[in-house]
Amino acid sequence: MISPKIQDAINAQINAEFWSAYLYLSMGMHFETEGHAGIANWFRIQFKEEQAHAEIFINYLLSRGGRVELKAIDAVPTEWASPLAAFEATLAHEEKVTSLINNIYALAEAEHDYATRGKLDWFVSEQVEEEETAKNLIDRLKLIGDNGLALYMLDQELAARVYNVPAPLANAK
Instruction: Give the CATH number, domain containing residue 148.
Output: 1.20.1260.10
> What contacts 172, CB < 8 A, 6 or more positions away?
55, 59
Burial 67-76 (b: 16+ CB within 10 A, else e): eeeeeeeeee
How many Cα atoms within 13 Å fall on the side-chain side of residue 85?
Answer: 9
Q: Is the pLDDT of residue 172 over 80?
A: no
The pLDDT tens digits of the residues spanning 64-90 come to 999 999 999 999 999 999 999 999 999
| pTM: predicted TM-score of the whole model, two decimal places | 0.95
Domain count, the chain: 1
**Domain membership of residue 98 as a residue range:** 4-170
pLDDT digits (tens, 9 = 90+) for 36-56: 999 999 999 999 999 999 999
Task: Give the SS3 label for residue 162.
Answer: coil
